[in-house]
Structures are given as structure tokens and as C-alpha cells.
Amino acid sequence: MFTTTKTLRQAASAARTPLIKFTGPRKWDSGDHARQAHPASPTHELPKDFSSTPNSASFSSYRQQAQQHGPLGASSKIGKHSGHSLGPVEPAKGEYFDRNELPARFRRTPIDLAEIDAIETGGAALWS
């Protein structure tokens, strides 16, 4: 019976492709938050006071317009997020910022002064 159902489904899908299709999990494009007119706005445009003139009375209004190595507003990726929102400044488990944080067996072998001198003198120091 299962085989019959499967066959019928295959036959149906071969005959016709519906317009409704599952296109996979939803993906949001949230990159651009530049101001645009509301879709139901009767004028289809924003008033002039929605323009780029900063409102100094509000820090958030100021930040929308402010520039620092590029725009700080939500439409920009620069300065868009506080450092806090990026999470803790700690490496993940098993990762290290510095070789000296690794277990001892992975660290550099200490170099003594004689070896340094030898390298710097092209080996001559060994014979002096």
C-alpha cells in the first residue's frame, strides 16, 4: 500500500508543479534599517522632519545620524552593536589568544643568552 501511495505521489508531482512550495527555513535580511515610507502611508513618502537633520535633544536621534569612521546609525554595520552585545571577551574552550597560555609542552623553549649571541653574530660568538 505504501508503495502504491508513493507511486501515486510521484506520478502527481511529475504531472504538475504547484506554485506553493516549501522554500526552506526563513532567512531574514535585517541589514538595512534606513528610513522608508510606511507601506500603508497615503502619501508614500516620509515628512521632511524624518530627514537627516539630527535632533540634538535625543542621544538616540543623534546616534542615528552620527558618523565615526562611517555612519553609526542602525543602517550601518560600523558601530552598530555595543561591545557588550558581542559577548564576553574570552576565547572559546580549547582556543587561546597567546602561545604562553597553552600547556607548557606547547610553549617555546626558553633561549639562553649564548644562543642569542650566536644567532646575532652568525655563529662567531661560539668561537670567541
In angstroms, the CA 74 to CA 128 distance is 67
User: Considering just the CA atoms, what is the radius of gyration of the chain in Å?
Assistant: 32
The least distance separating other proteins from the CB of residue 60, rounded to whole angstroms, comes to 5
Q: Could you give the C-alpha distances from 6 to 3, 11, 16, 18, in angstroms and in order?
A: 5, 9, 16, 18
109 counts as binding other proteins under rule CB under 8 A: no
Q: Which of 81, 109, 113, 128 binds other proteins (CB under 8 A)?
A: 81
Q: Which stretch binds other proteins (CB under 8 A): 1-9, 96-104, 111-119, 120-128?
A: 96-104
Cα 30 to the chain's mean position, in Å?
12
The least distance separating other proteins from the CB of residue 30, rounded to whole angstroms, comes to 4
The least distance separating other proteins from the CB of residue 52, rounded to whole angstroms, comes to 11
DSSP code string of 42-69: SSSS--GGGSS---TT-HHHHHHH-BSS
Q: Which of 24, 94, 110, 122 binds other proteins (CB under 8 A)?
A: 94
Which of residues 27 and 113 has its CB atom nearest to other proteins in the complex? Answer: 27
In angstroms, the CA 26 to CA 118 distance is 63
**Applying CB under 8 A, which residues contact other proteins?**
16, 18-20, 28-30, 33, 35-42, 46-47, 49-50, 55, 57-58, 60-61, 64, 74, 80-82, 84-87, 89, 91-92, 94-99, 102, 106
